[in-house]
Amino acid sequence: MKKAISEVVNNRSSVNAAAKKYDIPEPTLRRYLKKGGRTRELEEHEFPVNAGRYKKTFSTGQIEELKQYIVDIDRRAFRLTKSQFGRLCFDFAESKGITHKFNKEKRAAGRDFIEAFMKESKLILRKPDATSVARLMMFNKINVGKFFDVLKDLRIAHSFQAANIYNADETGFSAVPTRTPKVISPIENRRVIKLKSAERGTTVTSVCTISAAGNFVPPFFIFPRKRMNLSFMVGAPPGLEGVSHESGWMTAEKFINYLHHFAKFAHPRKDNPVLLIMDNHASHVNLEAIQYCRDNFIFLLELPAHTSHKLQPLDVAFYSPLKNAYNSCCDDFMVNNPGSTISIRELASIAGKAYLHVANARTAIKAFEATGIEPFNQAIFNEEDFAPAQTIDMPIETVESDTFPTSADPQVIRSTDIPSELVENVTVSTSADSQAITSTDTPSELVVTVSTSAEPQPTSSGLPPLPTARTNTSRRPRKKLPSMHLTNTPVKEALVERKMEKDEKEEKRKQRLMNKDKKNQNTKKLKKVAQQKRKEQCVKYSPHLTIQIQLKCNT
């Protein structure tokens, strides 16, 4: 009110403009101007004491406190809906003993208050992306820093250019799209429907590959069939390759087939090696694939577990527009072919059209830039990006150590360039305060101290404590693969050793089964001989007892 009156008195603004600018009813502003006069000093004007029905429920400090709580909880990935925020405001006012006009039956603030608060605090409603607890926990400074360190060493050692840095990842195309576009319908319709192919459709796995220079490798499709049919590829874009597998998923065998497909378009050579960045799926870590990459000058770099939503260029900038384009192409097919359904034979053609629609150099270049891979930017992520990791009640601290932990050392998680799943001597210890996995046969590694935090303490401000996601300490944690250079010698040697141990165990298992079969066969022979002897003894008895004795022998 003071600012509005000051602008009108000093002829910097009209009454209408000042009322609109400061969100004051125009009659109210004119009344106070008339009461005080336009020529009087600002301090001499009489201002309202209680603001009447426009009195705010919370003070300026309390509003800032609420806004800061929203910001903090937003960083922790526990964003509130409008109804949740309404209940929060009601509880906040009740705990502070503030007189309010909120709905006491619903125990929540009204829509007008929420919208006014959002407008004043510059908050908006947005649709969030669902993110698992594992992704929140694993995307931290430790894992991201490890990835960039390995990437930096590889780029310095082999001088990879943008055209030689690739990212590949699997995605799925379903015959039944998960999203339907908005349609035009009469306003009186209570329910609007849209025809789709079926209730549940066949899903085909596709491997997409992009380079930091904006180049694209044609997709590699895996159809869920035992035998490959050439009709699956009718209408597919040039260069697209398809194989079949009973499950339709990526396996170690199909990954090798993909590497052959990739090498045809990437053209890796001794004087022109390429870097292929992928997630740490189990099918990527196998001896045959690594040996093929070593022989063909392909360097495999794995992303840390559960970090692809931030570090993988395809996930960051390509797959979302690709899926939107695919859904639109499926809808166009249903409209242009009434009465038809999308089968596995049309899927490659439809997905190919969507792929050609979104596969442009600008998208690929921006995707690598957003992840800090090309151009190399190790500081691409700031503290706010790592803040959601605080939602986990297992705070992580990094400690560099070259020695093994003693009994007095804190429980630790150790990760090296060798996959943790290749290490056999792993011990797990759990207590009420902390939990850890310790690998005891690696000489030097990154040490991560893990401790379970206590119950959140209530705040003195009246607001609830910031939430944390609880981890299950009653079961053994699943081992995660760190970011590593898969084609280096230590990983290959570890895989060879692992394969030898696996083959040895398999040989022992087969030998046990053979011995068990022989033992069962000998037992059957002995039983048969014993039964034959009993029958021979039965014949020696007198004829009038032979039938009775034989019956007893048979039973």
> CA nearest 136: which of 70, 72, 75?
75
Distance CA(121)–CA(225), nearest Å, equals 55
pLDDT higher than 60, residue 518: yes
pLDDT higher than 50, residue 440: no
pLDDT for residue 320: 92
Edge-to-edge, what's the strand order for the sheet holding 274-278?
241-245, 216-224, 203-211, 165-174, 274-278, 298-302
Least confident of 108-122, 261-275, 382-396, 406-420: 406-420
> CA nearest 207: which of 160, 146, 166, 154?
166
**Tally of CA atoms within 13 A in the half-sphere of 427 that contains its CB:** 7
Over residues 91-117, the pLDDT tens digits come to 999 998 988 889 999 999 999 999 999
Q: How far is CA 533 from CA 526, 527, 543, 552, in A?
A: 11, 10, 18, 14
Tell me what the mean pLDDT of segment 230-257 comes to. Answer: 93
H-state helical runs in 378-488:
383-386
Over residues 321-354, the pLDDT tens digits come to 999 999 999 989 988 988 888 989 999 999 999 9
pLDDT for residue 549: 52
Rounded percentage of the chain residues whose pLDDT exceeds 70:
77
> CA nearest 474: which of 448, 435, 427?
435
Q: What value, to the nearest 5°, has the Cα angle with vertex 19 and ends 14 and 25?
A: 135
Tell me what the mean pLDDT of segment 171-175 comes to. Answer: 92
φ/ψ (deg, to 5) at 189: -70, 125
pLDDT for residue 8: 85
Q: How far is CA 168 from CA 211, 218, 299, 333, 349, in A?
A: 9, 11, 13, 28, 21
Least confident of 49-53, 252-256, 521-525: 49-53
pLDDT higher than 90, residue 220: yes
pLDDT higher than 60, residue 410: no
Length of the chain: 555
* Cβ burial 42-58 (10 Å sphere, 16+ → b, else e): eeebeeeeeeeeeeebb
pLDDT for residue 477: 56
Distance CA(448)–CA(392), nearest Å, equals 15
The reply to whether omega before 464 is within 30° of 0 (cis) is no
153 SS3 class = helix
H-state helical runs in 22-59:
26-36
Q: What is the DSSP letter of 298?
A: E
pLDDT for residue 554: 55
With a CB cutoff of 8 Å and minimum separation 6, the contacts of 365 are 212, 213, 214
**Tally of CA atoms within 13 A in the half-sphere of 183 that contains its CB:** 14
Q: What value, to the nearest 5°, has the Cα angle with vertex 30 and ends 28 and 36?
A: 105
Q: Are 364 and 214 a contacting pair, CB within 8 Å?
A: yes
Distance CA(63)–CA(14), nearest Å, equals 30
pLDDT for residue 493: 77
Residue type, 309: H
Q: Does residue 10 or residue 438 have the better pLDDT? A: 10
Angle between helices 111-121 and 60-75 (to 10 degrees): 80
Rounded percentage of the chain residues whose pLDDT exceeds 90:
40
pLDDT for residue 437: 32
Distance CA(349)–CA(355), nearest Å, equals 10
pLDDT for residue 404: 29
Over residues 278-310, the pLDDT tens digits come to 998 888 888 899 999 999 999 999 999 889 999
Can you point out the beta strands (E) in 417-541?
A: 426-430, 435-439, 445-450
pLDDT higher than 90, residue 317: yes
φ/ψ (deg, to 5) at 203: -110, 130
pLDDT higher than 60, residue 423: no
Say how many C-beta atoms besides its own lie within 10 A of residue 238's C-beta: 6
| 486: exposed, middle or buried (Cβ count in 10 Å: 0-12, 13-18, 19+) | buried
Q: How far is CA 96 from CA 26, 58, 61, 371, in A?
A: 34, 10, 13, 45
For residue 156, is it left (φ>0), alpha (ψ between -120 and 50) or beta? alpha
pLDDT for residue 546: 53
pLDDT for residue 55: 73
> CA nearest 424: which of 440, 443, 402, 404?
440
The widest CA-to-CA distance across the chain, in whole angstroms, is: 145
Q: Are 370 and 445 a contacting pair, CB within 8 Å?
A: no
Tell me what the mean pLDDT of segment 245-252 comes to. Answer: 92
pLDDT for residue 107: 92
Distance CA(538)–CA(551), nearest Å, equals 10
The model's confidence at residue 163, banded by pLDDT at 50, 70 and 90, is very high
Least confident of 24-38, 206-220, 526-540: 526-540
Distance CA(265)–CA(253), nearest Å, equals 20
Angle between helices 489-539 and 287-295 (to 10 degrees): 150
Dihedral angle at the C-alpha atoms of 404, 405, 411, 412, nearest 10 degrees?
-30
For the record, the structure tokens of 179 come out as 């999203």
Tell me what the mean pLDDT of segment 383-409 comes to. Answer: 52
